Structure 1
Amino acid sequence: MIEVDVVIIGGGIVGASAALFLSQAGRRVALLERDFCGSHSSGVNYGGVRRQGRPLSQLPLSQRAHDIWGQLPRLIGIDGEYQRSGHLKLARSAEDLRALHDYATSSQGFGLDLQLLDRAELRARFPWVGAIAVGASLCPDDGHANPRLVSPAFAQAARRHGAQIHEQCAVSTVEHNGQRFAVHSETGLVVHAPWLLNCAGAWASHFAAQFGEAVPMHAGHPAMLVTEPLPWVMNASTGVEGGGIYARQVARGNCVLGGGQGFALDDARARPGQNAVIDILRQAVELYPFLQGAQAIRTWSGTEGYLPDRQPVIGHSSTQAGLLHAFGFAGAGFQIGPAVGQALTEIICNGASTTPLDAFSITRFHSISVA
């Protein structure tokens, strides 16, 4: 049994960054991760580090995260292959292009500096994009990183600052005795703390329900693949208005692509599925003709948590003092995660976050019946 100031359930990028910032602030922290830090959604995602396309309510947090990403080597000791390559969002129809124009208008003032490109401008600047694209929106300072490096590195940096990181330490039950939490793990470890951060990803709704805050969250499984090394062509990370596919190329020449959904093998493992992979490859050849004939050398999936409005839950529990939630990022938590960890740290250390979190309150689900 150990006593700390804050116990964190979940070692993804949100929980690990919170552990780092809290430790830097002098708090005693214990983080419990059921597998290995960064082994689920934070480590198997596409690696996009983008602000463009997010709901307006997320942009203050996303902009805050953008500043943190620029300090990555100082914070976690590696650059994580992070580069601000630009994020190019493609339009496949006139209607999609209008949607990009509308978003550029509504997001003014958030520092995205979006550049709208018509068909001719798109061809001139990004000749590797297929003819199916009629235009695009470019966010020049967005980019991408390697999630398999970045997410575990936050946990390693937290450990260097004194945080206790317990991997392969699944949590079984959580209790509160009126003064502090008692978090029991399946390994026999019991952690006592006045603060509890529920950063358990797709499994976080289980812990919320233990405090009478059940939410209608379901699991999703992103379909991902990577190609053999190819001549370097893509000088921007890409997405598509309306969804369907996203792609980037790393310095070694491999192209990382994703889109659609796979399926669960069990509570902790997933696969992309043949149909999803075929659909990714079909769209890839249309949007990026240079990929014609390229070999996919690996496919994978993971488990992510999705809420009905595809917005996360971040902030105070409404039923239990000392409990903070941060989950349900719908596959888009990689970029924003460090800012969430910093905001949670501010709540604990200063009483409130300097970035508004009201839009992400768990109370928005209180009137919803959860089966």
Structure 2
Amino acid sequence: MPGPYVVPVHGDADLPKEVDVVVIGGGIIGTSTALELSERGLRVALCEKGGIAQEQSSRNWGWVRIACRDPREVPLMAASLRIWDTLDERTGRDTGFKRAGIIFTSSTEREFADHSSWIRNLDGYDIEARMLTGAEFREMYPGTTMNLKGALYTPTDARAEPQKAAPAIAEAARANGAAILTECAVRGIETAAGAVSGVVTERGAIACKAVVLAGGAWSSLFAGTLGIHLPQLKVLNSVLRTTPLDGAPEQTMWASGFAFRKRQDGGYTVASGHENIVDIVPKSFRFAFDFLPALKMQWRSLKFRAGWRFFDEARIASRWALDEPSPFEYCRVLDPVPSRKMSDNALSSLRRAFPVFERAQVAQRWGGLMDVTPDAIPVISAVDRIPGFHIATGFSGHGFGIGPGAGRLMADIVTGATPVVDPRDFRLSRFTDGSKIELISGF
């Protein structure tokens, strides 16, 4: 089941012998970090086991939103929106970014109250957000059949094209001197006196003083080889895209039965607004205690599945020698089979709510594996016990929009610059220092 077409980025032929920073992972987080570091004059090598943005960074919904973010992510997302505004000019390429607004529907009084109270998280930011009444929503969308209490509307929220954004950022990083190395898996790191001294890739060694692990759903496996506790599980989201459709809503929208975004080609990306699949795998048991708070809040929206995925992951080695192939070389791209039922249900719900979508034809389906943490916010952090090693992962399905801001924050941490936002909430040590792990937002 092939994933979406991604703008191709051809990797460099030559492996640098030495750089200042190696970034592991060519998704939106890794490429954004590489761009930020290279623009600051550092020598950077980005190593990607497959192709740029071939996994979740090209398979997500393409939302660039501050609406309904976990309050701990709001400052970083506000910074990210400012970066997105300049990204096309900065990279010299089209990312499909457009501020077209996002709507979160409220079908009950409780949802309306929750959305209304969420707006307080934007106090102090110059970001417009307001509640629409049910009548205002119907006036805005005269063709809808939805009978709502109202909706949260953020007119300056945005959208972009996942198949274009990370490739554009990677090419800009290369233009600033970064080496972009595709099909170049990092097998592990080397240390001297306990600190990072380099990495070993399948193509050879690169000396460096700092490493950023931005490996998405692969990060926990890599971190585990270093004895780092990084609780992270994979969650499958199923997506479809339609052929171009005239007369459908311009704004991106979330509802309990569906979510959609207008695409640059005039079609729509459609998915379930709340359903995801969690395969039961060995790490489900290893991290069960870590994820208990999340399960208590989100179990209704998670469809647990037992199957061959358990045995597939059980066969993956957890340790390997640096002179032998790693699991990253045996699986270049995670390309899961989507749930046709979930995406069909989402499209059916959308057609009932907006009959204009009866004319929409399904052009493609794909699945994506989100890298999820117990509190559904990312790790953007130095690893204290391995000086020079850093982690930027666990974005829990929220990574695309916040990616450019996360890259700036990670670059600040690596270089010791004043951080763009307070990174405390994103520290890795929160999972081991006795902190209370809370899933604050259910959206």
What is the TM-score when the length of structure 1 is the normalising length?
0.93
Aligned to 1:345: 411
Percent of pairs identical after alignment? 29
Q: Which residue of 1 aligns with 2:362?
A: 296
Structure-2 residue corresponding to 1:171: 186
Distance (whole Å) between structure 2 residues aligned to residue 198 and residue 62 of structure 1: 21
1:159 aligns with 2:174: yes
1:182 aligns with 2:248: no
Q: Note if contact 2:379-2:391 (Cα within 8 Å) is conserved in structure 1.
A: yes
The worse-fitting range, judged by mean Cα deviation, of 285-294 and 10-19 is: 285-294
- List runs of 5+ in structure 2 lacking aligned partners: 1-15, 280-308, 313-330, 435-443
Alignment root-mean-square deviation, CA: 1.9
User: What is the CA distance between 1:165 and its match in structure 2?
Assistant: 0.7
The residue number in structure 2 matching 1:278 is: 344
Which residue identity lines up with residue 171 of structure 2 in the other structure?
Q
Query: Aligned ranges for residues 200-215 of structure 1 at < 5 Å?
Result: 200-215=215-230
Query: Whole-Å Cα distance in 2 between the matches of residues 128 and 349 of structure 1?
Result: 52
Match of 1:254 in 2: 267
Cα shift readout 1:191-219 (whole Å, capped 9, x = no counterpart) = 11111101111111122223332222101
Matched, 1:226 2:241: yes
Q: 2:10 — aligned with what?
A: none
- Provide, for residues 50-102 of structure 1, a one-character-per-residue CA deviation record: whole Å limited to 9, x for no partner: 11110111111100000000001222112312110001111122221111111
Deviations 1:7-50 (A, max 9, x none): 00001111101111111111000010011111111111110011
- Whether 2:97 is the aligned partner of 1:82: answer yes
Q: Is the 8 A contact 2:108 2:149 kept in 1?
A: yes
TM-score norm. by structure 2 comes to: 0.78
Structure 1 match to 2:425: 359
**CA distance in 2 between partners of 1:215 and 1:345 (Å):** 21
Name the CA distance, whole Å, in 1 between partners of 2:269 and 2:248. 13
Give the direction of change, closer, same or farther, for the CA distance of 1:321–1:247 in structure 2 (3 Å limit). Answer: same
Residue 252 of structure 1: how far off its partner (Å): 3.6
- What is the DSSP-based 3-state SS (H/G/I as helix, E as strand, rest coil) of the residue aligned with 2:368? coil
8 A contact 1:52–1:112 mirrored in 2:
no
Structure 1 Cα separation of the partners of residues 88 and 338 of structure 2: 32
Q: 1:231–1:319: structure 2 CA closer, same or farther, 3 Å change rule?
A: same
Pair 1:53 & 2:80 matched: no
Q: Which residue of 2 aligns with 1:98?
A: 113
1:27 aligns with 2:42: yes
Partner of 1:62: 77
1:72 to 58, 82, 87: 87
| Residues 204, 327 of structure 1: 8 Å contact kept | yes
CA distance in structure 1 between the aligned counterparts of 2:139 and 2:392, rounded to whole angstroms: 42
Question: Alignment partner of 1:65: what SS?
Answer: helix
Indicate conservation of the 8 Å contact 2:134/2:147, yes or no. Answer: no
Deviations 1:248-303 (A, max 9, x none): 22354311112233688776221212221222123212332321253212101122
| Equivalent pair of 2:79/2:420 in contact (CA under 8 Å) | no
Relative to structure 2, which stretch is displaced further, 128-137 or 76-85? Answer: 128-137
Distance 1:296 1:354 in 2: 41
Q: How far apart, in 2, do the equivalents of 1:230 and 1:362 lie?
A: 44
